[in-house]
């Protein structure tokens, strides 16, 4: 079968549906494909999303995909110092991503985009030396999708960018290994209105253990560690559960995945191929969250795809690379620097940093305000003077 569209989007996670919806709203013919038989399932995510994303990216706050409202975070140092950041407003939500992703695809379809589940991109179509579309398999049957613009929204394991000749190789150090249980937590105190983050070199090297509550006694309990660690993320998570007397006997779901935490793609566009989200490594390197970052990239990319198609000048696609790198890219680079300092800290220094940060503006720190971190840590010069990477 042969199909023709203005834009074909590979991947219906977060970036794909936002971008498809935006372009369909502008009147372009858009086809979004995903290899999953059911969009959103299985998921690989802690499901935490800041509340501001809903308004910013025009997503309805629909009870169907919101498990729980969250009012802040509690951060624990290796020795158990606790830094609590609590707001008197909803700060974020724990989603049900299986429904969220499907609903995002529904919004894209309602805006006019076509959506095909169980359709896997297997290569690119080239005509007279130019990329002309995507070769796919729909329910096992070959499918050729011709389009002016091809969008790689195919996640951390992206192949589309590579097929187009973009070097998206990530060294293991630039990736976190993540492992997560959705589980019932018994005999362990946690405030279900907050997310809980546990730091320590023996707890989660370079990363942290998280509890993202979905209920008063049910949560995503996960861990991210440096991908080049000789031990596995599962090992560290099991160890932490055991040390905290949390029985791993009521596990509802197991999630395993890689999270790019650095190595943002320099080249976000090659000819008529545009790369967004995890495929472009557009993830916050400090906490590993990538949903809001994928939405931001999709918003910028859809603006430039609209410009390029309306002015019939595909060179304009490069505006996406420039705009992303001038704003979001610089912000993520600053956050990466903070991460590079924090990953060198000993447990004693992590204790001192958590104590020092309790006086700092948490919202500024979360937004990657390097100066705010510096101000808080100036009392601990040995932390600031740590050698960088
Ligand atoms: P994805 O959501 O990965 O979507 C890519 C889609 O492309 C998938 O649906 C896939 O099936 C499809 N696809 C891939 N290849 C093909 C192909 N060849 N053909 C067709 N379809 C294809 N982020 C947060 O913000 N908050 C969190 O709490 C959080 N927790 C996380 C916990 C874990 C364990 C992990 C692994 C990640 C977590 N993240 C979190 C990161 C977040 O999940 C990603 O950053 C986000 O999903 C990126 O969106 P995306 O659209 O770029 O990619």
Q: What is the pLDDT of residues 111-135, one digit of tens each?
A: 999 999 999 999 999 999 999 999 9
CA distance 345 to 361: 21
Q: Which ipTM score applies to this complex?
A: 0.99
Q: What is the pLDDT of residue 124?
A: 98
pLDDT above 70 coverage of the chain, percent: 92
CA distance 313 to 131: 15
Stretch 279-296: mean pLDDT: 97
CA distance 200 to 344: 11
Contact 301/188 with Cβ under 8 angstroms?
no
Residue with the smallest CA separation from ligand 1 atom 2 is 13
CA distance 51 to 292: 10
pLDDT beyond 80 at 364: no
Domain edges within the chain: 2-69+90-170+262-334, 172-258, 345-384
Q: How much distance in Å is there from the Cα of 375 to the middle of ligand 1?
A: 35
Which positions ≥6 away from 128 have C-beta within 8 Å? none
Specify the ligand 1 atom closest to the Cα of 255.
Answer: 34
Q: How much distance in Å is there from the Cα of 358 to the middle of ligand 1?
A: 32
Mutate to test the pocket of ligand 1, among 236, 289, 296, 299 (most ligand atoms within 8 A of CB): 289
CATH 3.50.50.60 for domain 2-69+90-170+262-334: yes
**Closest listed residue to residue 11, CA positions, set 344, 362, 301:** 301
Tokens of 182: 């959705």
pLDDT per position as a tens digit, 62-90: 999 999 999 999 999 999 999 998 999 99
Q: What is the pLDDT of residue 14?
A: 98
Mean pLDDT (the chain) is 93
| DSSP letter for each residue of 46-106 | --EEETHHHHHTT----GGGEEEEE-EEEEE-TT--EEEEE-SS--EEEE-HHHHHHHHHH
Stretch 267-272: mean pLDDT: 97
- Model confidence at 374, pLDDT cuts 50, 70, 90, reads low
Q: What is the pLDDT of residue 379?
A: 63
Backbone angles phi, psi at 203, to 5 degrees: -90, -55
Say if strands 141-152 and 2-10 run parallel, antiparallel, or are unpaired.
parallel
Q: How much distance in Å is there from the Cα of 87 to the middle of ligand 1?
A: 28
pLDDT beyond 60 at 385: no
CA distance 132 to 242: 54
Residue with the smallest CA separation from ligand 1 atom 9 is 13
Q: Do domains 2-69+90-170+262-334 and 172-258 have the same CATH topology?
A: no
Q: How much distance in Å is there from the Cα of 44 to the middle of ligand 1?
A: 7
pLDDT per position as a tens digit, 168-211: 889 888 999 999 999 999 999 999 999 999 999 999 999 999 99
- Model confidence at 341, pLDDT cuts 50, 70, 90, reads confident
| Residue length of the chain | 389
Which positions ≥6 away from 172 have C-beta within 8 Å? 226, 227, 228
Q: Across the strands, what pairs with 273?
A: 150, 270
Residues with beta carbon inside 6 Å of ligand 1? 10-16, 33-36, 44-49, 120-121, 153-155, 159, 178, 180, 222, 255, 257, 259, 277-279, 283, 288-291, 294
Q: What is the pLDDT of residue 365?
A: 63
Residue with the smallest CA separation from ligand 1 atom 45 is 290
Q: How much distance in Å is there from the Cα of 155 to the middle of ligand 1?
A: 5
Q: What is the pLDDT of residue 357?
A: 78
Q: How much distance in Å is there from the Cα of 132 to the middle of ligand 1?
A: 26
Contact 196/73 with Cβ under 8 angstroms?
yes
**What letter does residue 267 receive in the DSSP assignment?**
-
Q: What is the pLDDT of residue 354?
A: 84
Q: What is the pLDDT of residue 363?
A: 66
Q: Which residue has the tokens 């795809």?
A: 305
Q: Across the strands, what pairs with 198?
A: 76, 209
CA distance 217 to 188: 9
Q: Across the strands, what pairs with 312?
A: none
Cis preceding-peptide flag for 42 (omega within 30 of 0): yes
Residue with the smallest CA separation from ligand 1 atom 49 is 14
Q: What is the pLDDT of residue 130?
A: 95
Q: What is the CATH number of domain 172-258?
A: 3.30.9.10
Mutate to test the pocket of ligand 1, among 177, 291, 292, 301 (most ligand atoms within 8 A of CB): 291
């Amino acid at each position: 079968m042969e199909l023709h569209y203005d834009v074909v989007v590979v991947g219906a996670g977060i970036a794909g549906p936002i971008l498809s919806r935006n372009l369909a709203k502008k009147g372009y013919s858009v086809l979004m494909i995903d290899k999953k038989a059911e969009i959103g399932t299985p998921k690989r995510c802690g499901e935490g999303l800041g509340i501001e994303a809903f308004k910013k990216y025009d997503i309805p706050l629909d009870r169907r995909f919101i498990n729980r409202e969250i009012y802040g975070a509690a951060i624990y140092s290796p020795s158990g110092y606790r830094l609590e950041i609590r707001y008197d407003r909803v700060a974020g939500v724990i989603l049900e991503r299986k429904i969220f992703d499907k609903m995002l695809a529904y919004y894209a379809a309602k805006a006019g985009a076509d959506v095909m589940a169980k359709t896997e991109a297997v290569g690119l179509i080239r005509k007279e030396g130019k990329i002309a579309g995507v070769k796919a398999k729909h329910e096992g049957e070959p499918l050729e999708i011709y389009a002016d613009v091809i969008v790689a929204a195919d996640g951390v394991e992206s192949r589309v960018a590579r097929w187009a000749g973009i070097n998206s190789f990530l060294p293991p150090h630039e990736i976190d290994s993540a492992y997560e249980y959705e589980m019932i937590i018994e005999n362990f105190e946690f405030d279900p209105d907050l997310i809980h983050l546990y730091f320590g070199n023996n707890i989660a090297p370079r990363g942290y253990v998280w509890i993202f509550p979905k209920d008063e006694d049910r949560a995503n309990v996960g861990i991210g560690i440096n991908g080049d660690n000789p031990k596995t993320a599962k090992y560290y998570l099991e160890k932490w559960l055991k040390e905290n007397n949390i029985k791993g006997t009521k596990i509802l779901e197991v999630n395993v995945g890689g999270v790019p935490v650095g190595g943002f793609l320099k080249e976000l566009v090659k000819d008529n191929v545009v790369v967004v989200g995890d495929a472009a490594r557009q993830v916050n390197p400090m906490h590993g969250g990538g949903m809001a970052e994928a939405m931001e990239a999709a918003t910028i990319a859809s603006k430039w795809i609209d410009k390029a198609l309306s002015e019939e000048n595909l060179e304009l696609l490069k505006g996406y690379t420039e705009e992303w790198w001038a704003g979001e890219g610089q912000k993520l680079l600053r956050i990466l620097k903070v991460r590079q300092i924090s990953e060198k800290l000993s447990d004693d220094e992590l204790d001192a940093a958590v104590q020092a940060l309790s006086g700092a503006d948490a919202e500024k720190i979360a937004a990657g305000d390097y100066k705010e971190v510096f101000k808080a840590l100036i009392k601990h010069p040995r932390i600031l003077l740590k050698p960088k990477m």
